[in-house]
Amino acid sequence: MSEYLSDYASLLSQYDVLGAFWVNIQLTFWAAIGSMVLGSVLALMRISPPASMRAVGAAYVTLIRNTPLTIILVFLVLGVWSQLTISFTDDFNQNFFIYAVIGLSIYHAAFVCEAIRSGVNTVPAGQAEAARAIGLSFLPAARLIIFPQALRGAITPLGNTLIALTKNTTVAAAASVTEISALMKTMIEFRPDVIIAVFLTVALGFVIIVIPVGLLTTWLSQKLAVKR
Amino acid sequence: MKYGKSMTLAALAATTALTLTACGGNDDGGGGESSGGDGESVRIGIKYDQPGLGFKDGEEYTGFDVDVAKYVAKELGYSEDQIEWVESPSANRENMLSNDQVDMIFATYSITDKRKESVAFAGPYFVAGQDLLVSQDNTDIKGPEDLEGKNLCSVTGSTSAQKIKDQYAGTVNLVEQGGYADCVTILGSGGVDAVTTDDIILAGLAATDANSGKFKVVGNPFTEEKYGVGLPKDSDKCQAINDAITKMVEDGAWEEAVTKNTEGADYKYNEDLNPPTPDACA
Amino acid sequence: MSTSVLFDVQGPRAKRVTMILNVVAVLVVAVLVWLVVQKLGEQGQLDAEKWTALFTERTWSNFFIPGLLDTLRAATLAVVGSVIFGLIFGLGRLSSVWILRAVSTVVVEFFRAVPVLVMMIFFYLGLARTGLIQPSNTPFWAVVIALILYNGSVIAELVRSGVYQLPKGQREAGLAVGLTPSQALRSILLPQALTAMLPSLVSQFVVILKDTALGYIITYPELLASARRLGSGDGNILQTLLLAAVVFMIINSALTFLAGRLSRLLSYRTSGKTRPLHEAAAGDETG
């Protein structure tokens, strides 16, 4: 047993597990911002007056939600970067990190959009009617009256999206970003005898990140709930 | 809310059932056990996704590994339709041999001392080496040292790119992809200057119809990978396989197989080391 | 809330402005598409043979159909497995025995927190070492088990919340006519909860189907892996991957559509809410 532990400890000193987790956390952070912005725009489009905007928003959600994330990431690297030769910086590590963030944002924006839309559905029609009655047009009404309430109602699904995003950063290896799942594979292939310990380390890492997010969103959704 | 115990007991029973069914073997995928009888059939492990070496196209299997395997099988007394092909991905090769799921493996399988602890090897039937694939008109990359400041592609988790970074060119820009075909696509569009892995694998990729004539293998291998025939530890076939490989080299079939599978890749194998003489059997 | 109360029906002027903006937007998109197409042409990605190869019999019979069948094989087993897993642990979380409740909670929360890909890699490399499963079957079982553990946990949550979301009166009425609490659960609450969660369940199948695509990372020969293999052999991987994406989209859209229809169909057969998961609690989905 103690030998197992020392084998495992030597493996940990050889590979930068914390560093790899840090990459996943950074990916989560930037992609959360990206998908929140893009998702809000999409949600706005889906409730906006012009039918064409609503259609585009709906098409985006349907298309992206039904495509595996891996394929989206591979297309960004193989198609956009390699064939269209669009580069953000000459530094490969940074360049692919940005691509991974874009891919994760594109994918999760569809879910953010649906989350916000479900939040909009919790806002009673009277709120919109009141906004209209005091002379607000669509954009001010959406910005001042609907969205603030919708976001509060959307906290639980948004939290779920954030959790899914955190876990999905493990797919970023498809965009040439070295993160924890790729490192875990290398570690196990190098030292298959300590496979359980390696797996538990990675799994617990995610539990530690994900469960507080879950608790926080539950707490927030209760605290911020619009009492009706 | 509280509910009775019968419910939860039923649930427990169902869990057990689930666990049991989940582990109960389902061996129909990929060959399984059919070693019944002498000379009935031979199960050979190959790669399915490595054009030029081992590639599955419907019921047709092509590549250099496949050609050598067919030749060896014939010498051992098996006709082509007695061969049962099994996919052997890199991570599974030792396990498949020690679980007696295949009789031999021809799958870009390098002979190493570490692997010899758990499996036996016949051969080598080819000595590959890590090399670089560049576009046909590239003249300034002649070896790994020239990659300083250049862009390089390799497969996620492979050690070959790391080796270049550590030993030859510290400032190389590295992109890792899901497969070598992705790398070749990127090389074709100019996203990277070179792709690295074993020379014959690169040659096989460059020899596919769509890539033929577009790329060249630099021809300056800087490692030595002796591709052997993986065998179960207790196999008695080693000597017979070695004889077959020697014969294949002598009657020209070996040369023909290399040429056929690397045509259009502008590839010359390392003539100092090839064709190899098989090592003595343990 | 219906969106129509947010704005007036567009008048002639607004309609004209919208029309103009639409045309401008279409033009901008058209220019972008043109630029992309031109660039792809320069790179030789529009060569006819790279595309026509996608519609040959060989492409389908040797690569896409076998790949699709392997995707469906893993997905089907994972669906069945995760429904069973979800029922067991969902009921476990509703149990009156605290130890069962605790165990179920820990199991469900753990497997919901661990990324599917991480589990797949673990089982892929771990199962072969146990010797229980033939090595050539480990990719298949790694995909199936990882999907069952994750999606089963999500379904367990669906079961639990499905029962909680039923109106209180349903259980009380059951007790009032003399049923025991467990009888009420079995014959009144559970049937309604299951009916209510059916659309969400179908949505979860979309997740399962999409996640089988992660199997290519551990060498499971599913659709994406087959597309990659064909692309490596023929040198048109960009095109084969695009085709794989389209196939995934078609199947998943069909499932999503089915979920929508089901929720409308079933809404008057239960007192629970039948909105699919992605609307009710969007985002519990992965790669």
CB neighbours of C255 closer than 8 A, spacing ≥ 6? C202, C203, C205, C206, C209
Return the higher-pLDDT residue of A107 and C235. Answer: A107
Q: Single out the residue of B70, B52, B123, B108 nearest to residue B267, CA to CA.
A: B52
What's the pLDDT at A138? 85
Which residues on A lie below 8 Å from C121 (Cβ)? 181, 184-185, 188
Asked if pLDDT for residue B60 goes beyond 80, the answer is yes
Chain C residue numbers touching A127 (CB-CB < 8 A)? 1
Question: Do the chains contact at A78 and C241, CB–CB below 8 Å?
Answer: yes
A35 reaches C (C-beta below 8 A): no
Dist. CA B224–CA C134, nearest whole Å: 32
Instruction: Give CB contacts under 8 A, 24+ apart, made by C189-195.
Output: C189/C163, C190/C163, C192/C166, C192/C270, C192/C271, C192/C272, C193/C159, C193/C162, C193/C163, C193/C165, C193/C166, C193/C270, C193/C272, C194/C159, C194/C162, C195/C266, C195/C269, C195/C270, C195/C272, C195/C274
Q: What value does the mean pLDDT take over residues B136-142?
A: 89
Report CB contact under 8 Å: C87, B205: no
Q: Do B1 and C181 touch (CB under 8 A)?
A: yes
Residue C198's contacts (CB-CB under 8 Å, 6 or more residues apart) are C262, C263, C266, C274
Cβ–Cβ gap A199/C279 under 8 Å: no
CB contact under 8 A, B18 and C237: no
Residue-wise pLDDT for B258-277, tens only, equals: 999 988 888 888 888 888 88
CB-CB contact of C188 with C150 (8 Å): no
Chain A residue with minimum CA distance to C285 = A164
Give the neighbours of chain B: at least 3 Cβ pairs within 8 Å: A, C
Reply yes or no on whether the pLDDT at B4 is more than 60.
no
Pairs of CB atoms within 8 A across A/C: 197
Burial of B162 (0-12, 13-18, 19+ CB in 10 A): middle
Distance CA A67, CA A130 (A): 40
Please say if the pLDDT value at position B35 is more than 60.
no
- Residue C283: the pLDDT is 39
Could you tell me the domains of chain B? 42-128+226-262 (3.40.190.10), 130-217 (3.40.190.10)
Residue C75's nearest CA partner among C223, C229, C227 is C223
Structure tokens at B172: 């190389």
State the smallest CA–CA distance between residue C97 and chain A in angstroms: 24
Backbone angles phi and psi of B87, in degrees to 5: -75, 130
Q: State mean pLDDT over B168-176.
A: 87
Question: Quick one: average pLDDT of C256-267?
Answer: 82
Phi, psi of A124 (to 5 degrees): -65, 150
Pick from A22-26, A71-75, B42-46, C201-205: least confident: C201-205
Under 8 Å between Cβ of C20 and C10: no
According to the model, what pLDDT value does residue A165 have? Answer: 95
pLDDT for the residue numbered A64: 93
Distance to chain A for B76, nearest Cα, Å = 34
Of B1, B58, B88, the CB nearest to C62: B58
Residue to test with chain C: of A65, A86, A143, A177, most C Cβ within 10 A:
A65
Does B182 sit within 8 Å of A83, measured CB to CB?
Answer: no
Residue B11's pLDDT is 46
Residues of B in contact with C238 (CB under 8 A): 185
Judged by a CB distance cut-off of 8 A, whether residue C253 touches chain B is no
In whole angstroms, give the CA distance from residue C101 to residue C160.
11
Residues facing residue B43 across a β-bridge: B84
Q: Are A24 and A169 in contact (CB under 8 A)?
A: yes
Closest CA to A228 of A76, A95, A123: A123
pLDDT of res. C128: 78
How far is residue B71's CA from residue C41's CA, in Å, rounded to a whole number?
Answer: 43
Q: Do B181 and C92 touch (CB under 8 A)?
A: no
More confident call, C27 vs C194: C27
How many percent of chain C have pLDDT more than 90?
43
B77/B237 Cα distance (integer angstroms): 12
B185 close contact with C: CB closer than 8 A? yes
Say yes or no for a CB contact (<8 Å) between A121 and C1: yes
pLDDT, residue B270, reads 85
pLDDT reported for residue A163? 92
Find the CB nearest A68 among C45, C242, C287: C287
Encoded tokens for C87? 């029922």
C282 has a chain B CB within 8 A of its CB: no
Candidates A78, A92, A182; nearest CB to B157: A182
Whether C242 and chain B come into contact, CB under 8 Å, resolves to no
* Segment B159-180 mean pLDDT: 86
Give the whole-number percent of chain B exceeding pLDDT 90.
43
- The number of CA neighbours under 13 Å toward the Cβ of C137 is 22
pTM, 2 dp: 0.86
Question: According to the model, what pLDDT value does residue C220 have?
Answer: 92
DSSP secondary structure code for residue B110 in this structure: B
C4 band by pLDDT with thresholds 50, 70 and 90: low
The pLDDT of residue B158: 80
Domain boundaries, given as residue ranges, for chain C? 59-280
- Global ipTM: 0.89
Residue with structure tokens 């060569």? C47
Mean pLDDT of chain B: 83
The SS3 call for residue B228 is strand
Chain C contact for A135 (CB, 8 A cutoff): no
CB contacts, 8 Å: B57 with chain C: 58, 62, 233
pLDDT tens per residue across all 228 residues of chain A: 678 888 888 888 888 899 999 999 999 999 999 999 999 999 999 988 888 899 999 999 999 999 999 999 998 998 899 888 888 988 888 999 999 999 999 999 999 999 998 888 888 888 888 988 898 888 888 889 888 888 888 888 899 899 999 999 999 988 889 889 989 988 888 888 888 999 999 999 999 999 888 888 888 888 877 666
In order of start, what are the domains of chain A with their CATH numbers?
19-179 (1.10.3720.10)
CA B110 to chain centre: 9
Average pLDDT, integer, range C207-212: 92
Q: Is A174 on the interface with B (CB under 8 A)?
A: yes
Are the Cβ atoms of B173 and A96 closer than 8 angstroms?
no
B121 CA: distance to closest CA in chain A (Å): 21
Confidence of residue C114 (pLDDT cuts 50, 70, 90): very high
**C125 closest CB neighbour out of A112, A162, A189:** A189
Question: Which pLDDT band, with edges at 50, 70 and 90, does B34 fall under?
Answer: very low
Per-residue pLDDT for B222 more than 80? yes
pLDDT at B2 (0 to 100): 43
Q: Give the per-residue pLDDT at C130.
A: 80
Which residue, among C13, C122, C210, C248, would best test binding to A if mutated, counting the most A CBs under 10 Å from its CB? C122
Write the CATH number of the domain with boundaries C59-280: 1.10.3720.10
Degrees, nearest 5: CA angle C268-C273-C277: 125
Q: pLDDT averaged over chain C?
A: 86
Residue A43 to residues A37, A38, C32, C221, Cα–Cα distance (Å): 10, 9, 24, 37
Nearest CA in chain B to C101: B8
Residues C266-286: tens digit of each pLDDT? 777 777 776 654 443 433 444
C-alpha of C62 from chain center: 26
Inform me whether the C-beta atom of residue C147 falls under 8 Å from chain A C-beta atoms.
Answer: no
